[in-house]
Amino acid sequence: MKKKIAWIIDTTGFVTEEFKAHPDVYAVPLNIHFGTEEFIDDGVDLTNDELYQRMKESADFPKTSQPSAGKFSELYDKLKEEYECAIAVHASAKLSGTIASSTAGAEMSEFKVYAVDSLALSYGLSGLIERGLKLQEQGVDAEEIAQRLEKETANFRNYILIGNLSQLYKGGRMSGAQYYLGSLLQIKPIVQLTPEGELKPIDKVRSHKKAIQYLINHAKKDYEEYGVRRFQIMHGHVMKEAESLKQEVLKQMPEATILIGDLSSSLAVHAGEGTLAFLWRREDL
């Protein structure tokens, strides 16, 4: 007898230790390119330490690419022997072609896959899969789970403090003049994934301390008004800063539960070392 649902997450999401140990969760890695060299974003082919070292030293700006439809098809060919269907939660289609590759791979394999556009990155994907697994435990069928997850994308909140202006400059997302002035004035850009799944700058803050308080102020509003208690801090190779942010959050929101995790390599190449992302989900919308 086949199992009901396989769960798919791509590595723009945060692949938790629970996901790694879960028999029904499958992580599909993106690819990272330094010039002609290609690495798989699995934490083994290229570790976080190696990635950040290469980013500092390489003359080539790193790029990412989504898994091919063929890669997804290979996975789905295997899964259809064991599962009735799959639910695949992917990075925002505005930022990555991964969901298109996944859908094409499912068609090639003739396997029923409910592809959910998370309209997000990082824990925005992970939180939806956690929610989906709970719904499955409650006996909700796959189609309804996918429909509910698509609606729940509206609950995602995120504020991202870019840690390394030079990475944005190298990637062509900032002019030389902007980079010079930003560095000179110690401006801290804050960006956000919009409800439409686009990544946009929303503010610029002078000084790291003010930027940290900016993140906390937005979280505190939902903590007080909506009873949000679970938060996530994702960081770009700055565990001490992530821990410091956690302690400051707990001072101001003592009932909060906070998970800390690394930005995946496929996100780190764009956000840069030193980035801090503060994420949570409002359940009451």
- 33 φ, ψ (degrees, to nearest 5): -120, 130
Q: Tell me, what's the pLDDT at 166?
A: 57
From 99, 133, 153, the end of a domain falls on 153
DSSP code, position 263: P
Mean pLDDT is lowest, of 54-58, 59-63, 178-182, for 178-182
Q: Are 173 and 120 within one domain?
A: no
Over the stretch 252-262, which tens digit does the pLDDT of each residue have?
999 999 999 99
Q: Are 40 and 177 within one domain?
A: no
Q: Are 206 and 272 within one domain?
A: yes
Dist. CA 163–CA 270, nearest whole Å: 11
Q: Tell me, what's the pLDDT at 79?
A: 98
Q: Where are the alpha helices (DSSP H) in 37-175?
A: 48-57, 69-79, 98-109, 123-137, 142-152, 165-170
Dist. CA 248–CA 254, nearest whole Å: 10
- For 212, other C-beta atoms within 10 Å of its C-beta total 20
pLDDT over threshold 90, residue 271: no
Q: Are 109 and 131 within one domain?
A: yes
Dist. CA 75–CA 277, nearest whole Å: 31
Residue at 235: amino acid letter: H
pLDDT over threshold 70, residue 90: yes
Q: CA 80 from chain center: how many Å?
A: 27
Q: Tell me, what's the pLDDT at 170?
A: 52
Q: Are 28 and 136 within one domain?
A: yes
pLDDT over threshold 70, residue 185: no
Give the bridge partners for 189, in sequence order. 204
Give the pLDDT band (50/70/90) at residue 167. Answer: low
Q: Are 199 and 258 within one domain?
A: yes
Q: Tell me, what's the pLDDT at 48?
A: 81
DSSP code, position 114: E
Percentage above 70 pLDDT, the chain: 91
Give the pLDDT band (50/70/90) at residue 43. Answer: confident
Six-digit token pair at 237? 């190779």
User: Which helix (H) or strand (E) segment is 220 a member of?
Assistant: helix 208-225
Domain count, the chain: 2
Q: Are 141 and 183 within one domain?
A: no
Q: Are 171 and 221 within one domain?
A: yes
Q: Are 109 and 246 within one domain?
A: no
Dist. CA 281–CA 222, nearest whole Å: 9
Give the pLDDT band (50/70/90) at residue 174. Answer: very low
Give the bridge partners for 119, in sequence order. none
Which has the closest alpha carbon to 215: 252, 257, 240, 263? 252
Q: Tell me, what's the pLDDT at 100?
A: 97
From 98, 131, 153, the end of a domain falls on 153
CA distances from 228 to 194, 222, 241, 242 (A): 19, 6, 23, 19
Q: Do residues 14 and 234 lie in contact, with contact meaning Cβ atoms separated by under 8 Å? A: yes
Helix (H, G, I), strand (E, B) or coil at 237: coil
Task: For residue 35, give the CATH number of its domain.
Answer: 3.40.50.10170
Task: For residue 179, give the CATH number of its domain.
Answer: 3.30.1180.10
Tell me which of 46 and 244 has the higher pLDDT: 244
Residue 253 sits in which domain range?
Answer: 156-281
Over the stretch 138-160, which tens digit does the pLDDT of each residue have?
999 999 999 999 999 999 999 98
Mean pLDDT is lowest, of 74-83, 111-120, 128-137, 196-205, for 196-205
Candidate ranges 44-48, 244-248, 266-270; pick with highest mean pLDDT: 244-248
pLDDT over threshold 70, residue 126: yes
Q: What is the mean pLDDT of residues 11-26?
A: 94
Q: Tell me, what's the pLDDT at 181?
A: 40
Mean pLDDT score of the chain: 87
Q: Are 171 and 111 within one domain?
A: no
Q: Tell me, what's the pLDDT at 164?
A: 64
- 217 φ, ψ (degrees, to nearest 5): -60, -40
